[in-house]
Amino acid sequence: MLKGRRRLYILIGFGVLALLPLASPKLMSTYYLDLLTKVLIFGIALLGYDILAGYTGLVSLGHALFFGLGGYCAAYTINNYSTNLAPALALALMCALFVGLIVGYLSTQTKDIFFVFLTLAFAQFFYLAAFNLTTITGGDNGITIQKVTLGLPRIWETGVPRPFGFYYLTLAVFFVAYLICLKVITGPFGKVLVAIRENEERVTFLGYNVRRLKIKSFMISISLTTVAGVLFACYQDFVSPGMLHWILSGDFILMSVLGGMGTLAGPVLGGAIVLMLGDLLSSLTENWMIFIGGFFVLTIIFAPNGVVGLLSGKRWRRR
């Protein structure tokens, strides 16, 4: 799938991530490991987001729907049936694929800004439902989740020690997600998605069913975001309607654009920048988003391809 240097870089990258906690216990204190775990969880969601927004060119303002849906499904199975991660993931994915098919089918009727707002509308349904159906979702108070376990249910199960265990669990999932995305975008399917982004009409003329391809891209995208949502809920041992709020979808866009949409590394890097900068700045002022906002505005004006675009020397070109 990949040859030579790029594979080497990727392996080095993951090697560093895997060895980081072991290398220097002082540097990688619990605190930073916690931050890094969150960065990776968001990274999974952002990889998914990028398939749709970056590669297919459909910017969604509704991905929090699937992040939150994953979280609530996980909360439900873990608290009611089994603390094991596997059934939680399975149920969350089933729910998300079902909801995603409907939302994806309807939303892809529109494009550009209308797509942005239709996805927003669907996500807000779920946010308001979670907020108002207090008997099921606990409303604004959210739900506390039991500690998640791994292994075979009823035969052999083990808890996930924190922070190390969860870090490696997240890293493993992130690795798989990254490989899936790499496979998708380097294959013929990914090339058609980019073609849709660049010139939808021409792809139609070539005989592709653009609508179906868009829905497919949507489904892959939301699946990864759902998995991230499950992990996030399990990591926090808690879900609240905030996981469904459009502000979170806005954060996904912000992170992706900062890092550079349409590259796999970009959005993950953007997520890391926002989360780490946010962590750093929040000790200075409660209104740290003012700086992120400023950084973001400068990015859009001077480097619309994000940090990765800046690094690779590619500037935005007028179409």
Partner 1 sequence: MDPAIIVTTILHGLTVAMVLMLVAGGLTIIFGMMDVLNFAHGSLYMLGAYMGYTVAVTTGSFTLALLLAPVAVGIIGFFIEYFSLRPLYGRPPLHHLLLTFGISLITQNAIKFIWGNDIYSVEPPEFLSGAVSFFDIYYPKYRFFVLAFSALLALVLWYVIAKTRYGVVIRAGTEDIETLEAHGINTQRVFTAVFVVCSALAAVGGAAVAPMRTVYPQMGLDIIIDAFIVVIVGGLGSIRGAVIGALIIGQAIQLGAVFLTGFGDVAIYIVMAAILLLRPQGLVPETT
Half-sphere exposure of 77 (CA within 13 A, CB side): 25
In the bound state with partner 1, the residue whose beta carbon lies nearer, of 16 and 128, is 128
In the bound state with partner 1, the residue whose beta carbon lies nearer, of 109 and 144, is 109
- Tokens for 277, please give them: 């900068």
In the bound state with partner 1, the residue whose beta carbon lies nearer, of 87 and 304, is 304
> Cβ 109 to partner 1, closest distance in Å?
6
In the bound state with partner 1, the residue whose beta carbon lies nearer, of 90 and 129, is 129
- Cβ partners under 8 Å of residue 26, min gap 6: none
In the bound state with partner 1, the residue whose beta carbon lies nearer, of 287 and 312, is 287
> Cβ 218 to partner 1, closest distance in Å?
16
> Cβ 289 to partner 1, closest distance in Å?
5
Residues at the interface with partner 1 (CB under 8 A): 59, 106, 109-110, 112-114, 116-118, 120-122, 124-125, 128-129, 132, 246-247, 250, 253-254, 257, 285-290, 292-294, 296-297, 300-301, 304, 316, 318-319
- Tokens for 67, please give them: 């992040």
> Cβ 53 to partner 1, closest distance in Å?
10
> Cβ 278 to partner 1, closest distance in Å?
12
> Cβ 116 to partner 1, closest distance in Å?
7
> Cβ 304 to partner 1, closest distance in Å?
6
In the bound state with partner 1, the residue whose beta carbon lies nearer, of 53 and 93, is 53
In the bound state with partner 1, the residue whose beta carbon lies nearer, of 171 and 253, is 253
Q: What is the DSSP string of the chain?
A: ---HHHHHHHHHHHHHHHHHHHH-TTTT-HHHHHHHHHHHHHHHHHHHHHIIIIIS----S-THHHHHHHHHHHHHHHHHT--BHHHHHHHHHHHHHHHHHHHHHHHTTS-HHHHHHHHHHHHHHHHHHHHH-HHHH-GGG-EE-PPPEEEETTTEEEE--TTHHHHHHHHHHHHHHHHHHHHHHHSHHHHHHHHHHH-HHHHHHTT--HHHHHHHHHHHHHHHHHHHHHHHHHHHTEE-GGGGSHHHHHHHHHHHHHH-TTSSHHHHHHHHHHHHHHHHHHTT-TTTHHHHHHHHHHHHHH-TTHHHHHHTTPPP---
In the bound state with partner 1, the residue whose beta carbon lies nearer, of 39 and 274, is 274
> Cβ 311 to partner 1, closest distance in Å?
20
